[in-house]
Structure 1
Amino acid sequence: MSSPPDTVSTVLARGRLGTWTVVFFVIAAAAPLTVVAGGATTGYAVTGVLGIPVSYLAVASVLAVFAVGYVAMSRRIVNAGAFYTYVTKGFGRPAGVGAAFVAVVGYNAMQIGLYGGFGAVLAGFLGDRGIDVPWWLCAYAAWAIIAVLGVLRIDLNGKVLSAMLVGEVVVALVYDAVMLTHPADGRVTFDTLSPSHIFAAGIGAALVTAITGFVGFENTVVFSEETKDPKRTVARATYIAVAITGLLYGASAWAMSVATGPDKIVEAASKDSTDLMFNLVGPYIGAELVTVGRLLFITSLFAALLSFHHTEARYLFALGRERVLPAVLGRTSRRTGAPKVGSIIQTVLAAVVLAGYTITDADPIVHLFFWVTVTGGLGVLILMTVTSASVVAFFIRNRTDDGIWRTRIAPALAALALASILYVTIEQFDTLLGVEPASPMRWWFPASYGIAAAAGLVWALVLRAIRPEVYRSIGLGAESAKTPLRAPEPVRQPA
């Protein structure tokens, strides 16, 4: 039996993050320019669905409702485990561990999939300037830098991300203005913003593409232990992140359809791929500004890689601190306060996956960037659906003065809306992947989460049988490290 980690090394660095630093972290994870130039265009091309812009706005509306209950929980529970902890408090420890395993798989998929986009885009940028390098070499260059940054102080990383993010947003807005002032056929159209697209064929693929663009906003809670005022910071950062990303994504995806014409956006996206936005604005602005945009697209991908690396490391930290996984994962660096072991494991895993894609010569954009990141988005969609329902369950048992809207109505509405999106997403996953309906691949990716959830459930039951003291500490967060055998639970939760 492994010994419990010591108290000093199992507490994340306190008070280093303010509201806007957290906002920069989570929007950097969402990677605005990556979503606009990469996710939206690839979504148009692969799915053939015109409703990408309205999908972003619809998803933003649903996530705003989801955030109501999510934020209410954050005021009661401060834990880097986020979804894992909330599901534990609502539905019990076995369900919580199952959710944790889904989170580990989903955020791994998001982070590692982004290496494909980064490697391919950087290789293309260098190739245009006469420097011929393979995509995998560019990906491994980013991997090496992130391996170092992943074990440094979290506030230092926040400064790096904030500088990149401001540049991204400014360039995206400038490009949007250029595209909207130079519409195809001289006429601004709103066809791709029509609500009718929400009920069109293939909308599940469009919705999960949109969900993927928002993945990261929920990580305000992951950084809660490191904020100066968790109860206020998390709420503010969550709402700000949803508002900024939702409006920017919807506007940018729509602007591209205006510049090409709604009837030509899918064809243009299929032809130009991630170069589409830059090709559309190129004739109207200086070459220098196009180059700046391309560079910021590359740094956007890097920022997302770094942010998701931190998220994954903190999930592993939360599980290690409670000894659900090996206790060594629950140790932080005494010098930087970073969860170093989880960071190193994430680095090693990414290196192995990249090697596999390199050896098999798979397409880094379609097979790694798009397929794997949208699968990560599916995992987060599953977690948000279950978490919304768990919020209702939690507040039914734990009466508060937060009001019925925050504790019952909003989370219940979010659960229903997210469950509906989840259903059509899985039903239309073949459209999302661009494969035949009979292809077994349409089930392989969703099935990975069923396997992960089942493994977590079984492991929780094993812990209950053979290590009851560990089982009792599930969901306690930092309290489990301080008094792992007798820690009183701050709120009532199911067995």
Structure 2
Amino acid sequence: MTEHSASTRPAAVADTALARRTLGVPALVFLIIAASAPLTVLAGGATTSFAITAQSGVPVGYLLLGVILGLFAVGYGRMSTYVQNAGAFYAYVASGLGTRPGIGTAFLALMTYNAMQIGIYGVFGFTASSLIEGLFGVTIAWWICALAGWLLVAWLGVNRIDLSAKVLAVIVLLEFLVVIVVSLLSLSSAPEGVTAAPLLAQNWMNGSLGALLAFGMAAFMGFESGAIYSEEAKNPERSVARATYIAVGIIAVFYAASSWALAIGLGPSQIVAQAQEWGPDLVFVFLEGRLPALLVDLAAVLFLTSIMAALVAFHNAAARYFFSMGRARVLPGVLAHTGARSGAPVVGSLVQSGLGLGFILIFAIAGAGSELGPLFPVLTMFPWLTNAAGFGLVLLLCITSVAVLRYFNRDPEQHPLFVRTIAPLLAAIGLGIIAVLIMFNFEVMIDSSSSPALVFILPGVIVGSGVVGLLWAQYLRVRRPEIYEGVRQANIG
């Protein structure tokens, strides 16, 4: 796909377009980091990794993942110079590997982003319900709280993307502030002294590295989303790559540093036991007695808003994949319609919101009277869908690395060896290993003791979505050759 052909729209939907040139590098960085939700990662992701892996080497996992994803970002960022498309994975793979793999990747991406976004409603509903009960003594069902969050996300989704970016910027900055405060308090407490113990090899080179990488990958979910906004970015040839590099660096270093500080604050010898006892509440239990109650409550509120930020970020990503597929007429063209004033992918956004609403209601009905009680959504909806999505993202990244490798090596003299071959090859190998590690650890990741079949069903659904995409591409080639040829022509490198 050339720089010019990438943004060409089929005649059938030529009157549709996303809002142009509304996002600069800072806005892109906030949109990317919002999906990773800094406070959610520390309070939820890091503590879960400490608890389940039973190792204090969690910070090292974040650093190693940062290296692998940094290698991926080298080729991925350069591709944004040549290809600007709201369906980034689809466009990159179609350009590098061909039309059928591109359409298959689009279906895989749709399933991945929708699963991640919808699954987060489970933890949002539970957290909001618990927070309201703790602050006001009022008990509200988790699904009612989830529906309130759903309504806000749906409204933001059909408005201008720069509105979402501004809202997310405020939330993300406040999240960083809370995490920094937690880290400083941790280092000032340090019952066993400030030490490098969590980083020592015996705490991660002991058979637990696979689990650390598998669980740590969730912290980076959404780092790749800058390219999804390339059609709405200012100077996308440079801004998308810069935003991606900045986001990967911040995520890797900040999460490694904050999880190390938390381990120091509780004591490296105690962090695992404490995480196993308190889970996501550990951060707030740590803050009690060290900060005024009002500030602890404020941190808990920001934990909820950080989850909201992730919901908005993944909603935007899923809506833009629907838009891109509708514009290419791979899916119904109505999905390509955008708001006259907002430039937002209105129909794609509404479809994503409809899916979210449906799953919230399904899990609300399924959880009625469950022996899991209020924990039902965080032990089912959240881990089932988000861990399946994490597996899907790793597959997407691995396939895209191969596509980048092939795309740049068609014209090798135009690209440095490291960019065209070394970085994407190492990234593909590393991501392939992580995909295998996730499969080996999937039973633990979703706690499948009550539903062992889910270990095979959930990854099967993710892989199956890509297979359906390949079959649909073949159908278009045979039955709707004008659509297939249009996609092919638009993605000729």
**Distance apart, 1:202 and its partner CA:** 4.4
Deviations 1:91-121 (CA, angstroms, capped at 9, x unpaired): 1111111111111111111111111111111
Could you tell me which amino acid in structure 2 is paired with residue 159 of structure 1? K
Whole-Å separation in 2 of the counterparts to 1:124 and 1:217: 29
Report which stretch shifted further, 409-418 or 364-373.
Answer: 364-373
What is aligned with 1:482?
none
Report which stretch shifted further, 74-83 or 270-279.
Answer: 270-279
What is aligned with 2:394?
381
Contact 2:412 2:420 in 1 (8 A): no
Q: Does 1:147 align with 2:163?
A: no
Q: Does 1:40 align with 2:74?
A: no
What is aligned with 1:345?
351
**Residue 20 and residue 226 in structure 1: after superposition, are their counterparts in 2 closer, same or farther (change >3 A)?**
same
Whole-Å separation in 2 of the counterparts to 1:343 and 1:438: 32
Counting only pairs closer than 5 Å after superposition, residues 117-136 of structure 1 correspond to structure 2 as 117-129=123-135, 130-136=137-143
**Distance apart, 1:277 and its partner CA:** 0.6
Whole-Å separation in 2 of the counterparts to 1:403 and 1:432: 39
Which of 159, 164, 173 pairs up with 2:166? 159
Q: Does 1:16 align with 2:16?
A: no
Q: How many residues align?
A: 476
What is aligned with 2:180?
173
Which of 190, 198, 202 pairs up with 1:183? 190
Report which stretch shifted further, 98-107 or 206-215.
Answer: 206-215
Whole-Å separation in 2 of the counterparts to 1:340 and 1:489: 24
**Residue 432 and residue 179 in structure 1: after superposition, are their counterparts in 2 closer, same or farther (change >3 A)?**
same
What is aligned with 2:296?
290
Contact 2:13 2:336 in 1 (8 A): no
**Residue 367 and residue 52 in structure 1: after superposition, are their counterparts in 2 closer, same or farther (change >3 A)?**
farther
C-alpha root-mean-square deviation of aligned residues, in Å? 1.9
Contact 1:44 1:265 in 2 (8 A): yes
Which of 286, 291, 311 pairs up with 1:305? 311
Q: Does 1:336 align with 2:342?
A: yes
What is aligned with 2:3?
none
**Residue 394 and residue 489 in structure 1: after superposition, are their counterparts in 2 closer, same or farther (change >3 A)?**
same
**Distance apart, 1:266 and its partner CA:** 2.9
What is aligned with 1:403?
416
Q: Does 1:441 align with 2:463?
A: no
**Distance apart, 1:204 and its partner CA:** 3.0
Contact 1:5 1:328 in 2 (8 A): no
Provide structure 2 residue ranges, at least 5 long, that are not aligned to the other structure: 1-9
**Residue 232 and residue 451 in structure 1: after superposition, are their counterparts in 2 closer, same or farther (change >3 A)?**
same
**Distance apart, 1:198 and its partner CA:** 4.7
TM-score norm. by structure 1 comes to: 0.92
What is aligned with 1:485?
none
Contact 2:107 2:465 in 1 (8 A): yes
Contact 2:408 2:415 in 1 (8 A): no
What is aligned with 2:477?
464
Deviations 1:198-252 (CA, angstroms, capped at 9, x unpaired): 5433433321221111111101100000011001101110011011111121122
Report which stretch shifted further, 248-257 or 377-386.
Answer: 248-257
Whole-Å separation in 1 of the counterparts to 2:207 and 2:456: 19
SS in 2 for 1:284: coil
Q: Does 1:450 align with 2:463?
A: yes
What is aligned with 1:364?
377
Contact 2:93 2:102 in 1 (8 A): yes
Counting only pairs closer than 5 Å after superposition, residues 216-227 of structure 1 correspond to structure 2 as 216-227=222-233
Could you tell me which amino acid in structure 1 is paired with residue 214 of structure 2? V
Deviations 1:418-466 (CA, angstroms, capped at 9, x unpaired): 1111112212222322345993322222111221111011100110001
**Residue 339 and residue 245 in structure 1: after superposition, are their counterparts in 2 closer, same or farther (change >3 A)?**
same
Could you tell me which amino acid in structure 1 is paired with residue 169 of structure 2? S
Whole-Å separation in 1 of the counterparts to 2:350 and 2:144: 20
Deviations 1:9-45 (CA, angstroms, capped at 9, x unpaired): 1x21111000000101110111111111112223333
Q: Does 1:112 align with 2:118?
A: yes
Counting only pairs closer than 5 Å after superposition, residues 32-71 of structure 1 correspond to structure 2 as 32-71=38-77
Whole-Å separation in 2 of the counterparts to 1:5 and 1:293: 49
Could you tell me which amino acid in structure 2 is paired with residue 296 of structure 1? L
Contact 2:42 2:259 in 1 (8 A): yes
Could you tell me which amino acid in structure 2 is paired with residue 372 of structure 1? L
What is aligned with 1:478?
none
Query: Among the aligned pairs, what percent are the same residue?
Result: 40
Whole-Å separation in 2 of the counterparts to 1:147 and 1:371: 23
Whole-Å separation in 2 of the counterparts to 1:70 and 1:274: 33
Could you tell me which amino acid in structure 2 is paired with residue 6 of structure 1? V
What is aligned with 1:79?
85
Could you tell me which amino acid in structure 2 is paired with residue 373 of structure 1? T
Whole-Å separation in 1 of the counterparts to 2:472 and 2:54: 41
Could you tell me which amino acid in structure 2 is paired with residue 58 of structure 1? L
**Distance apart, 1:256 and its partner CA:** 2.2
SS in 2 for 1:152: coil
Contact 1:430 1:437 in 2 (8 A): no
Contact 2:171 2:302 in 1 (8 A): yes
Contact 1:38 1:273 in 2 (8 A): yes
TM-score norm. by structure 2 comes to: 0.92
What is aligned with 1:480?
none
Contact 1:212 1:378 in 2 (8 A): no
Could you tell me which amino acid in structure 2 is paired with residue 192 of structure 1? P
Whole-Å separation in 1 of the counterparts to 2:54 and 2:193: 23
**Distance apart, 1:49 and its partner CA:** 4.4
Could you tell me which amino acid in structure 2 is paired with residue 472 of structure 1? E
**Residue 404 and residue 448 in structure 1: after superposition, are their counterparts in 2 closer, same or farther (change >3 A)?**
same
**Distance apart, 1:197 and its partner CA:** 4.7
**Residue 289 and residue 59 in structure 1: after superposition, are their counterparts in 2 closer, same or farther (change >3 A)?**
same
Report which stretch shifted further, 140-149 or 366-375.
Answer: 366-375
Could you tell me which amino acid in structure 2 is paired with residue 107 of structure 1? Y
Could you tell me which amino acid in structure 2 is paired with residue 74 of structure 1? S
Contact 2:387 2:446 in 1 (8 A): no
Q: Does 1:193 align with 2:199?
A: yes
Whole-Å separation in 1 of the counterparts to 2:189 and 2:172: 26
